[in-house]
Each structure stands twice: as C-alpha cells, then as structure tokens.
Amino acid sequence: MVLQSSYKRVIVLALDGVGRFFMEIPTPTIDAFFASGASSLTAKAVVPTDSAQNWGSVLHGVLPDKHGLKNGEVEAGVPYDEDSPYPSIYKLLANSFKDIKMASYVAWESINTGIIELSVKADLYAPLTHENRFWRWWLRFKHHWLKNSVYDYAVVSRLVDYIRNPENKSVKLLFVHLTDVDEHGHGHGYGSQKYLNQIKVMDSHVATILEAIDEVGWKDDSLVIMTTDHGGIGRSHGGDSDQEVNVFLAVRGAGIEPSSKIESKVTNMDCAALILEALGKKTPGWFDAKLPAEFSSKSVNGD
C-alpha cells in the first residue's frame, strides 16, 4: 500500500475525546469509512492525554515536551511561539508552497489561536470567534447550563458551505475539529449513555461532511484522515489509562486498499507525517511523527 504523494488535498477529521468508545455502539459512517480505507484500532494517544498536547502533536509532529502546548495556556489565548524550532505543519507548508490555500474549521477555537501560529494565512473558523453574539450566547448556554454542547452543528454547517464554495477547491490542507463528544464526556461521563448517544450524533455529522466532500468531487483526489486526541475515564482525561490512551487512526484515499489494516505501532501524532507525505513534502528530521510502515514506499515492492 503506497501513499501517493500526489493528493490534491488532505482533510483531517479530528474528533475530540472519542477514544475507542465508538466500538460500543452502532456508528455506520465510521464503519463505512474504515471499510473504505486503512485503519488502526491499536493506535495510541500521546501522554498527557489532553487536547492541546495531542492536537499539538498532530499539528506539529513532535511530542508534547517539545511543542510545550498546554490546555490552560492555549485556552487563555497564548499564541504559539513563532520562533519555536517545532513549527506547525501549517507553517511548514506555507513556507514550502507559495500561496498555498489551507483551512482550519474547529469547534475549539484554541486550535486556531494557540496551536497554529498566528502568522499562518489560512481560512479559519470557530463558533466562539466567528458567530454573532446571540449564537455565541446560545452555544455557551447549551454547553455550561444544559450540558448539551452543540458547537459541532455550527462547525459542520459552516464547513459544508466552505466545501461547496468553488473558490475553495484548491484548499490543500483542511483540518476539521468536532468537540461535542468530549464535552458530553466531561458533562456526563466517558462511556455513559449520553456520551455514547453523542457519538451517534457525531457519526451523522461525519456523514454530512463526507457527503459534501463526495458531492463536490473531492473524493478521488483527497486523502481523508480520521483520528481522535484521547478517550476519557470518569469525567476527565489526561492520564495514561487504556480508556484515555487507546485511540484510532483511519485513512481513505486513492491507492489505499479498502478494508486494510494498519498493524504497525502508530500514534495520533503520526498524522503529521502522513499529511506532509501526502502533499509531497518530506518529513523533517526533527519530527517524532513517523509515516506508518504500511505507507512507506520502501516497505512495498521496494519502489
């Protein structure tokens, strides 16, 4: 299975706080996605199993002690150090391809304000930074008082508009982050019925996104990656228990054998290497992220 280095774009479906809990309930879209490409159900998160640390590793290709990202700081609005020796893949790509079009549509605005460098030019969206005051109030009310987060609805509907707009056809990297499953984990417990029900809702959100991708004809020239940052135990995460560390990684795209397995040891961080390779850029030597052995051209027929 060789990863083509000629994909027009890479789309990352970053599903917060799912762990491997989707295996406990019917998730037709995720199942169909797995069947359409290669997947790992033995992937691990990086530790500590927090969002900033893990999305930081996914987007910077290095372990948390190197990128140094922490939830409290990114949530307080601290921007990523422009002089860091570990820039994000957004910055690497911006420096490699002139006028590259990239986008980040996230339910958690800290990804756009604290994990991706502010100097990066990209089409950014997050509900709490881009919606009007009434919507923001409603989203916060649902989240804090009703413990029934609906940030993902806003992200998915804006994202579908973005995908359908012909002006965005040339986007090379599109990072999509959904958060309501994680919020339901914090509000009701990871593995609880309400949390599992929210995974079903998320599955239908993923269906909406994939339908839009297929509808505009992006299916054949895009690599689509699906992963999560961590699971959870009780009402939190951050530790190294199986429920927190066990995650998944799935990839769909031209040249990737349907229903194939990624058997090698992988972490969600390895997405960073996958993304760069799929866009024809070599993985930097200082990366901790590695291209999964299954996708390395050296491991297949030596070509």
> In Å, how far are 71, 200, 255 from 251, measured between CA atoms?
27, 20, 11
Select 152 or 182, whichever has its Cβ closest to Zn ion: 182
Smallest separation, CB 20 to Zn ion (Å) = 14
Residue 104 found at the interface with Zn ion (CB under 5 A): no
Residue type, 219: K
Residue 111 CB, shortest distance to Zn ion, in Å, is: 10
**Shortest distance in whole angstroms from residue 55 CB to Zn ion:** 7
Site for Zn ion, residues 155 to 194, rule: CB under 5 A:
182
| Closest to 58 measured CA to CA, from 225, 213, 203 | 225
Residue length of the chain: 303
Q: Which residue is nearest to Zn ion (CB)?
A: 51
16 part of the interface to Zn ion, by CB under 5 A? yes
Residue (16 or 117) nearer to Zn ion, CB:
16
Q: For residue 126, how many other CB atoms are within 10 A of its CB? A: 23
13-21, 58-66, 148-156, 160-168 -> range binding Zn ion (CB under 5 A): 13-21
Spatial CA neighbour of 198 closest among 36, 16, 12: 16
Comparing CB distances to Zn ion, the nearer of 172 and 186 is 186
Give just the sign of the alpha carbon dihedral 15, 20, 26, 31: positive
Beta strands at 38-40 and 249-252: parallel, antiparallel or unpaired: antiparallel
- Mask for 257-296, x = binds Zn ion (CB under 5 A): ----------------------------------------
Among the residue ranges 1-9, 73-81, 156-164, 223-231, the one whose residues contact Zn ion (CB under 5 A) = 223-231
Interface stretch with Zn ion, choices 3-11, 16-24, 156-164, 290-298 (CB under 5 A): 16-24
Minimum CB separation from Zn ion for residue 85, in Å? 25
Q: 26, 19, 8: which is closest to 207 by C-alpha?
A: 26
For residue 244, state whether it binds Zn ion (rule: CB under 5 A): no
Q: Closest approach of Cβ 225 to Zn ion, in Å?
A: 17
Contacts of 205 (CB under 8 A, 6+ apart): 152, 153, 156, 178
- The nearest distance, CB 138 to Zn ion, in angstroms, is 21
Closest distance between Zn ion and the C-beta of residue 250, in Å?
Answer: 18
Footprint of Zn ion on 29-58 (CB under 5 A): 51
Residue with tokens 């989707």: 22
Maximum C-alpha span of the chain: 58
Q: Give the Cβ contact number of residue 76 at 10 Å.
A: 11
Give the DSSP letter of residue 114: I
Given 117, 152, 203, 229, the residue binding Zn ion (CB under 5 A): 229
The site for Zn ion, by CB under 5 A, has a size of 5
Alpha carbon separation from 247 to 17, 62, 175 (Å, rounded): 9, 18, 18
- List residues binding Zn ion (CB under 5 A): 16-17, 51, 182, 229
